[in-house]
Amino acid sequence: MVLTVVLVLSALTINNSEPKETNPNHPATVAARIAPAGAVYAGDTGRAAMQAAADAAAKAAASQVAYGGTTDGKEIYDHLCTSCHTAGIAGAPKLGDKAMWGPRIKQGIDVLVKHAIDGYHGPDGNFMPPKGGNPALTDEQVTAAVHWIADQAK
C-alpha cells in the first residue's frame, strides 16, 4: 500500500513539473474572437474611407463574372431567376404566364432590361433587385436572361 502511495505521488510530481502542451493556433483564435466587428469613421476622412471601401467592394464584385460568363438566357434563369419567377415571390411574374407578362412586354424589351439591370419597385409592391440580386452578372447576361424569359411568355 505504501508503495502505491509513493508511486502515485511521484507520478503527480512528474506530471506537474512537465510543461503543458499548447495549441499553436490558440493566439490567432483569440485575436480573431476579440477583433472589432467594424470601424468608426468620422468627418470627411471617414467619409472618404467609407467611400473607398464601398468602391473597392463594388469593383471586386464587378470583376467576378457569374456563371462562367455564359450568355445563355435559360442557364442564367435556371441558376438565379427561377427562385422568384417560379413561385411569384415579391410579385414576380411567373415564367410563361402570358397574362402577367403581356403588359410588361408591351412596354418594350428595353424597359424590361432596364428594370432587370437597375432594379424595380412597382406601385403594387412588386420588387426586382438590381441584376436579380447578383451583381456579378454582366449587362449582357441580364439582357440574355430577359429575352429568354420574355420569349417564354409569347
Least confidently predicted of 45-49, 81-85, 95-99, 149-153: 45-49
Q: Which fold has domain 71-152?
A: Cytochrome Bc1 Complex; Chain D, domain 2 (1.10.760)
Domain ranges across the chain: 71-152
Residue 54 is predicted with a pLDDT of 84
- Helix or strand or coil: residue 120? strand
Residue 148 is predicted with a pLDDT of 93
**Nearest of 96, 92, 70 to residue 83 by alpha carbon:** 92
Residue 37 is predicted with a pLDDT of 79
Strands (E), the chain: 120-121, 127-128
